[in-house]
Amino acid sequence: MKAAVFVGAGRPLAIQQIDVPRPGPGQLLVRVKRCGVCGSDLHLTEAHAAWQVPHGTVLGHEFAGEIVELGEGTSDIWREGDRVAALPYVGCGRCRECLNGYPFHCPETLSLATGDLIGAFSEYAVIGARETARVSEHLSWEQAAFTEPVAVGIRAVACAGITLGARVLIVGAGPIGLSAAACAKLSGAGAVVVCARTDRHADRAVAMGATEFLLNDADLRRNFIRHAGGPPEIVIECAGVPGMLDLCCDLAEKRGRVVIAGGCNGKDPLNVLTPLCKELTFRFAVCYTIREFALAERLIASARINPMPMYDGEVSLHQLPARFEELRRNKDACKLMVNLDA
Ligand SMILES: [Zn+2]
Ligand SMILES: [Zn+2]
């Protein structure tokens, strides 16, 4: 099969012919239909990344496809031809984290996102039967491939403990920030403000459910209060760049909550006196549980979340290497997808 392989920082991904992986017990083989390109794919292949994936890695963790082969012990639930989206983690199925439905934390987990297993920038991928969600007939493959990033938004909002009418500020207007905005609105927040350093994603934020988009500039605090009637009780950090922790703490209401969902690949120094004097609560959020992942599919299928304002079109696998390098420079894009049928 063809796959886009990471062959070293500073070099474009290489389209190579590699063996189709075989599904082991409890696993499924899927024919990948669509796979989104994620900011983390770019970060994990950067020359100066604090953490870089090994050469030979096939990335791609935001995907949907069709089951083409069943591993042992999976035929009670799954059939060939089933439309699915899957977590990019295959847990052991026995440990406490797996039994709690959180395979990201399983000590033996195998990740498609970081190279333990072949990722979905390829024609086929092996996934875990437990970690797989059925995709509604009504969904396009593009909508289905948004299950993963929407699940990240669900997790962030679950960690935020939003109450009815809450004033919520989301920092960052990428796919995670926009998904979190949609989920915060669904959770009953009164004001959901997305802020970013440029307004290039302002229309997308409002289309996803934000009650307002604001520029992250010197007037942000004043503009937030003008819109929401008070400072944010909950701040969700989805930008993942240094300086954001201080910003979140500066803006948050006393005894507010700061949820960090942006993956800053490096250090972000914090002036401790601000959260101390405000008695802020910090909470970090990573990935999602199996249940949150399945919920993402249902929210999209029932049209309670429309992820398509994030969509920027598709490329073929052969076009991916050049576009992948372009995405490192072009910050206008939100979510580009690879069409493995093209
Ligand atoms: Zn991602
Ligand atoms: Zn486990």
Tens-digit pLDDT profile for residues 94-131: 999 999 999 999 999 999 988 899 999 999 999 999 99
pLDDT at 50 over 80: no
Tens-digit pLDDT profile for residues 61-102: 999 999 999 999 999 999 999 999 999 999 999 999 999 999
Q: What is the pLDDT of residue 51?
A: 79
Distance 165 CA to ligand 1 centre (A): 29
Q: What is the pLDDT of residue 331?
A: 79
Q: What is the pLDDT of residue 332?
A: 85
Distance 223 CA to ligand 1 centre (A): 31
pLDDT at 58 over 80: yes
Fill in the DSSP letter of residue 125: E
Q: Which residues pair with 17 in a beta bridge?
A: 2
Query: Which fold does the domain 150-284 belong to in CATH?
Result: Rossmann fold (3.40.50)
Q: Which ligand is nearest to the CA of 109?
A: 2
Q: What is the pLDDT of residue 87?
A: 98
| Low-confidence winner among 23-27, 29-33, 110-114, 139-143 (lowest mean pLDDT) | 110-114
- From residue 104, alpha-carbon distances to 141, 237, 257, 277 in Å are 24, 20, 24, 34
**Residue 339 token pair:** 């069409």
Tens-digit pLDDT profile for residues 185-235: 999 999 999 999 999 999 999 999 999 999 999 999 999 999 999 999 999
Q: What is the pLDDT of residue 135?
A: 98
Q: What is the pLDDT of residue 303?
A: 97
Distance 110 CA to ligand 2 centre (A): 10
Distance 95 CA to ligand 1 centre (A): 25
Distance 62 CA to ligand 1 centre (A): 6
Average pLDDT score over residue span 21-26: 97
C-alpha 44/C-alpha 125 separation (Å) is 20
Distance 155 CA to ligand 2 centre (A): 19
Tens-digit pLDDT profile for residues 300-338: 999 999 999 999 999 999 999 999 999 998 878 999 999
Distance 178 CA to ligand 1 centre (A): 13
Q: What is the pLDDT of residue 115?
A: 87
Distance 180 CA to ligand 1 centre (A): 13
Q: With bands split at pLDDT 50, 70 and 90, how would you rate the model's confidence at 179?
A: very high
Tens-digit pLDDT profile for residues 5-20: 999 998 999 999 999 9
Tens-digit pLDDT profile for residues 223-274: 999 999 999 999 999 998 899 999 999 999 999 999 999 877 778 899 999 9
Q: What is the pLDDT of residue 292?
A: 98
Distance, C-alpha 34 to centroid of its chain: 15
Hey, is 143 helix, strand or coil?
helix
Distance 106 CA to ligand 2 centre (A): 4
Q: Which ligand is nearest to the CA of 105?
A: 2
Distance 96 CA to ligand 2 centre (A): 7
- H/E stretch holding 32: strand 27-36
Q: What is the pLDDT of residue 114?
A: 87
Average pLDDT score over residue span 46-57: 86
Q: What is the pLDDT of residue 322?
A: 97
Distance 219 CA to ligand 1 centre (A): 31
Q: What is the pLDDT of residue 13?
A: 97
Neighbours of 82 (CB within 10 A): 17
Q: Which ligand is nearest to the CA of 102?
A: 2
- Domain 2-146+307-339 sits in CATH at 3.90.180.10
Q: With bands split at pLDDT 50, 70 and 90, how would you rate the model's confidence at 47?
A: confident
Give me the residue label for tokens 């240094």: 242
C-alpha 194/C-alpha 306 separation (Å) is 17
Distance 271 CA to ligand 1 centre (A): 29
Report domain extents, the chain. Answer: 2-146+307-339, 150-284
The amino acid present at 214, given as its one-letter code, is: L
Q: Which ligand is nearest to the CA of 128?
A: 2
Tell whether the torsion through CA atoms of 114, 240, 285 and 166 is positive or negative.
negative
Distance 222 CA to ligand 1 centre (A): 32
Q: Which ligand is nearest to the CA of 95?
A: 2
